[in-house]
Structure 1
Amino acid sequence: MNVAGVKIGVIGQGYVGLPLAVAFAEYFPTVGFDINQTRIAQLQANEDNTLEVSVEALIKAQIKGLTFSADVKDMADCNCYVVTVPTPVDNNNSPDLSPLKAATESLCQVLNKGDVVVYESTVYPGATENICGQLISELTGYELNKDFFLGYSPERINPGDKVHTLTNIIKVVSGSDQATAQFLQSLYDRIITAGTHLAPTIQVAEAAKAIENTQRDVNIAFMNELLMMFHKMNIDVLDVIDTAATKWNFLKFTPGLVGGHCIGIDPYYLIHQSQQSGHFPELIATARRINEDMPNYVTSRILKLMAMNKKHVVESKVLVLGLTFKENCPDLRNTRVADIVHELQQLHAHVDVHDAWADADDAVTHLNIELTPKPNTGEYDLVVLAVAHEQYINDQVRKYLKNDGLLVDLKGALPRSLVDERL
């Protein structure tokens, strides 16, 4: 195999798939496929509501020959498929592979003998070959490593990060046989300036992806436990962390809500497969439990602050600033701020939510939260800075409060003198 004559179909045009399609289009004929026709129409009009790719880059890529389509038949001439669909968990926090299976079923409609299928979605070790590969064989009658070939190259996209982008992050690559692995390494080497790392097997690459974010989850859970512990001692945990961080080998994580498409999801895939193999990962599961319970902890701190200041939550007016899972990014996936909003609403508070980055329609559709276009000054009993968007850091957020109103900073982003409580 060699990269000459490669035509690529990228399945899924979200935070991962779109930057990938744009990068590949610089060197190879590329089709960006997505089942969301509205999303395809926006991309064809050079609009990206994820804000990951600029208008200029979209225009350039389409001039180069990148095409977007919601019709799977438009990938019929492709011979290398890259699957970048989400891999969420269900209501029981078990892996939900239905988007991955649906994408696999779609590409099987156009898959030809000799084609390569690469998965970038987070999965548990063994899923690429045992779930996706088996499904391809069942639907096409093709035999793995004879009629078609598999690869796994886990995505490392960090939404909103304009420094650590697709091309300057080392890319892990693996294949179902040595020839496929080397072919895919050559393919990705064309677009990844930081270079590639060839994993010895697909399962190693799958496991590496799972532990990258699980490690962060465990570290943040440690900080969250320190937060709870030091709060009981009346010690500011952020001061403790800053002081400890003066040692060269201290890893500086900060406490807070854990959301997004990776850190709050990937550990469940690892837990699932570990249990299937007969081992219950206690530390990982405990870290997940601590981080899952953080919205309840935050809400209880807010309620205690109000009570200590003789403010009743019932009929109170609350403004929550920020809804996305991280700052300066429109990504609402798995945001835990929504949990706090809904809990305050259940306690009969009047909650307004403002977000300078989030899409208002997405907030309603996915979170059942209506965004407030412009909060009124001097109107709220409580303001919660939930996400440290640059607009809020540069704003005088106390202006939204009544004279005796309270300001809670969940991010430690505001000067301490301005806030009444911070995590």
Structure 2
Amino acid sequence: MKIYSSLVNKDAKLAVIGLGYVGLPIALEFAKKLSVIGFDINEARVQQMRQGIDPSGEMQAKNFENTDIVFTSSISVLKEASFFIVAVPTPVDSHNVPDLRPVQKASETIGKVIKKGDYVVYEFTVYPGCTEEDCLPIIQEQSGLKICEDFKIGYSPERINPGDKKNTLSTIIKVVSGCDEESREEIAKLYELIVKVGVHRASSIKVAEAAKIIENTQRDVNIALMNELSIIFDRMGINTFEVLEAAGTKWNFLKFFPGLVGGHCIGVDPYYLTYKAAELGFNSRVILSGRYINDNMGNYVSKKVIQHVIAHSDNVKEAKVLVMGATFKENVSDIRNSKVIDVIKTLKSYYLNVFVHDPSANSAELEEEYGIHLTKELDNDYDVVMVSVPHNSYADYDDAYFSSITKHHALIADLKGTYRNKITSRKYWSL
């Protein structure tokens, strides 16, 4: 059951289901060499992509050029494909329990269109076992086909870093796996078409799933350590970034930094692993401790801002706080699971006047998702300026700039330490 040659010769088509920040780059890269169907259930997004516009703001118009791709929300068009890549979101609910509904719905869709000889590869981040235990049964039930006999599945976790123009799809080693040796090799050869640095063939689908989820879990735990150290060092009156700079002179010191941990990877994926571990009778301690620390950093930051306002403002309800940056990380437009929102909501709950500025975020999306309106024109009398997301457009700001938009007693809360040793005329604080 080989498919590589059929795809390369364009006798068969490849489909990517879910065209977000993961799916669209994959679809466009494959479309330079293969005939591709880009499928998304959101017709408004599909219309934008037909015009060469990436709704996520990651891809440029030039990335759409010279590609053999059809964008659609029609299942009938999807039936033309023989190789399906699933790149839908894998969020958690309000109780941090994995929400598999997008995955399940995508699997149902595949079950309705798949035929003998087809392949399915999942690209999302899930707990080990999800592909074979949760997704595969749905496809088999919907289609009446049997795994390995009639169709084959694989797993190849995404390694796309939003906002990163250096480490891209083609320059990051791709992990691939399949339900048997033949499928693993066919999938590997296919990804080798677009990944210049090559692929790593995992021994099983579960191994590949586990490898992906610990990448983000490892980062989460390490950042949690930095955040905890930041709280400790703040009580000692020393700057965390100065400590890390000194410690970083040792060759084997891992360079992680404190900050708000949001987004749809590091702040979400560890919960998939701890959920599965609990199902198997093991309660995680280290991973959940890291999640607890990182999830509560918004409250910690809010407390520092509120303490300053109370100490320096005659009327707290008249105090003005400017939050610079609302996206989940610098130089991206994505606001999903942004922990800056937690800080904003907490500050507002204390009746502070909070103004939000962000050159990368979409004001309409912020308004719809969180009820937050972006400020374009800045005032000159803020009591606190919190630089929560260090976008490149903020990089050249200096002491004179912050003095021009603040009161003399103002606090510059520089979460990522961007302006360390540059602010002299206002009180300065960083994580």
- TM-score where L is the length of structure 1: 0.96
Equivalent pairs counted in the alignment come to: 419
Secondary structure class of the residue paired with 2:394: helix
How far, CA to CA, are the matches of 1:267 and 1:12 in structure 2? Answer: 22
The corresponding residue for 1:136 is 139
The corresponding residue for 2:182 is 179
RMSD, matched Cα:
1.3
The corresponding residue for 2:5 is 4
How far, CA to CA, are the matches of 1:364 and 1:84 in structure 2? Answer: 27
Shift of 1:54: 1.4
Listed as ranges, the gaps of 5+ residues in structure 2 are: 8-12
Q: 1:52 aligns with which of 33, 50, 58?
A: 58
2:359 aligned partner, one-letter code: A
After the TM superposition, which parts of structure 1 deviate over 6 Å for at least 4 consecutive aligned residues? Answer: none
Contact 1:51/1:160 (8 A) holds in 2: no
The corresponding residue for 2:387 is 385
Shift of 1:311: 5.4
How far, CA to CA, are the matches of 2:373 and 2:47 in structure 1? Answer: 25
The corresponding residue for 1:114 is 117
Q: What whole-Å deviation, never above 9, does each CA across 1:17-52 have from its counterpart, x for those lacking one?
A: 010001101111001111111111111111113232
1:14 aligned partner, one-letter code: G
User: Taking structure 1 as reference, are residues 398 and 390 closer, same or farther at Cα in structure 2, changes over 3 Å only?
Assistant: farther
Where do residues 72-151 of structure 1 align in structure 2 (5 Å cutoff)? 72-151=75-154
Q: 1:414 aligns with which of 400, 413, 419?
A: 419
Q: What whole-Å deviation, never above 9, does each CA across 1:228-248 have from its counterpart, x for those lacking one?
A: 111111111111110000000
1:49 aligned partner, one-letter code: P
Contact 1:72/1:107 (8 A) holds in 2: no
How far, CA to CA, are the matches of 2:219 and 2:56 in structure 1? Answer: 24
How far, CA to CA, are the matches of 2:236 and 2:310 in structure 1? Answer: 20
Contact 2:58/2:332 (8 A) holds in 1: no
Secondary structure class of the residue paired with 1:388: coil
How far, CA to CA, are the matches of 1:417 and 1:162 in structure 2? Answer: 28
How far, CA to CA, are the matches of 1:260 and 1:167 in structure 2? Answer: 22
Shift of 1:320: 0.5
Secondary structure class of the residue paired with 1:420: strand
Q: 2:404 aligns with which of 395, 399, 402?
A: 399
Shift of 1:380: 1.6
Q: 2:28 aligns with which of 15, 19, 22?
A: 22
1:56 aligned partner, one-letter code: K
Higher deviation after alignment, 354-363 or 102-111: 102-111
Q: What whole-Å deviation, never above 9, does each CA across 1:39-77 have from its counterpart, x for those lacking one?
A: 11111111113232211111222xxx2111111211211
Higher deviation after alignment, 411-420 or 351-360: 411-420
- TM-score where L is the length of structure 2: 0.95
2:218 aligned partner, one-letter code: Q
Q: 1:321 aligns with which of 309, 321, 324?
A: 324
Q: What whole-Å deviation, never above 9, does each CA across 1:380-411 have from its counterpart, x for those lacking one?
A: 22111110011122233442213433221111
The corresponding residue for 2:10 is none
Q: What whole-Å deviation, never above 9, does each CA across 1:264-284 have from its counterpart, x for those lacking one?
A: 001000001111111111100
Shift of 1:360: 1.2
Shift of 1:216: 0.2
Q: What whole-Å deviation, never above 9, does each CA across 1:114-136 have from its counterpart, x for those lacking one?
A: 11110001111100011100111
Identity of aligned residues (%): 44
